[in-house]
Structure 1
Amino acid sequence: MSRNTLTNETWSRLLPILKQLGIYRKKNLRKTVEGILFRLRTGCQWADIPSYFGKANSLYQSFNHWSKRGIFTKLFKHLADTPDIEWVFMDGSHIRVHQHGMGKKSIVHQAVGKSIGGHTSKIHLAVDACGNPIEFMITAGLVFI
C-alpha cells in the first residue's frame, strides 16, 4: 500500500460522509480525493500531481468547487466528532503569503494580515489527547487567539 493512497478502512469511513455532503457523482471519487490529499500533503503544483490520480485540472476544479461549498470544513467536523478532550493542545504557525497570493481586493475576507515581514496568515490548530485535530482556524498573521 502506497503512502499516497487511502486505506480501505479510511475510505469506508469517508465515503458515507462524502455522500451525505452531496459528493457522489464522480466516477473516480476515491482517486480524486487521494489526488487532492496528495497535493495538500506535498504542496506540489497542481500540474505536478501524478497522472495516476487523474487530470490535474479536474482535481483542481473539484478542490476549488468543494472548497467554495465548505466541504472540507464539514468533512473535518464529521471526522472530529468524538475527540478525547482529557487534554487539548493548541499551536499556531505563521505562514508568509506569496506576493501573487493576495489577488485583487474583494469583499471576501482572505485571512491575510500585514506585518513588518510582509503579508502573513496564521494557522491555529487544537488537537485532542491522541493528537487528532479537533478544531482549526486561519486568521490574519497578527491575530492572537
Structure 2
Amino acid sequence: MDRFVLTDAQWAKMEPHCLGKPTDPGRSGANNRLFLEAVLWIVRTGSPWRDLPATFGNWSTAFRRFRDWREADVFKRIFDALTEEPDMEYAMVDATIVKVHRHGQGAKGGLRARPLAVPKAA
C-alpha cells in the first residue's frame, strides 16, 4: 500500500499498546500497522470482513486477530492512549448549538390564574 490512514505520530502512540512484536511467533507478531489499517478500512467503508482487499492479507486471519484484540481490550488501551490530551475543540457547547423547547425552560406547571379565595356563604 502506498498510502496509509495513520500518520507516523499516531502510530508511534499506538505501537506500544499493540499485542505482539515482529519477533514473536504467530499472527499477533505480524505487521500491526497494516492490521490497524485494515481495521480502519473496515470501519470507514462499513464493508463486511469478506470484502477486505487482498493488500491487507487474508480476511479470515484479520477478523480472528480483530476478535482476539477486542477480547484483550487492546482497542480500548489504544483509544485511551490517543485521548490522553484531548484538544476539546468539539466539546464547546453554547446556546447557538443547543436550543431548548420553550416548554422545557420554566419551572414545573407554569403560571396559573387563581381566583381569590372567597369563603362561601352558607
Q: CA deviation at 1:7?
A: 2.6
Q: CA deviation at 1:48?
A: 0.7
For the aligned residues, what is the CA RMSD?
2.4
Question: Residue 53 in 1 paired to residue 56 in 2?
Answer: yes
More strand by share: 1
Q: CA deviation at 1:10?
A: 2.3
So what's the TM-score if we normalise by structure 2? 0.59
Alignment identity in percent? 28
Please tell me whether Structure 1 or Structure 2 has the larger radius of gyration of its CA atoms: 2
Instruction: Give the count of matched residue pairs.
Output: 86
Structure 1: which 5+ runs fail to align? 91-145
Structure 2: which 5+ runs fail to align? 94-122
Q: CA deviation at 1:16?
A: 2.2
In structure 2, distance between residues paired with 1:43 and 1:89: 29
Higher relative contact order (CA 8 A, sep 6+): 2
More helix by share: 2
Opposite residue 14 of structure 2, the aligned amino acid is: L
Question: Alignment partner of 1:44: what SS?
Answer: coil
User: Structure 2 vs 1, CA of residues 85 and 9 (structure 1 numbering), >3 Å: closer, same or farther?
Assistant: closer
Question: Alignment partner of 2:6: what SS?
Answer: coil
So what's the TM-score if we normalise by structure 1? 0.50
Opposite residue 66 of structure 2, the aligned amino acid is: F
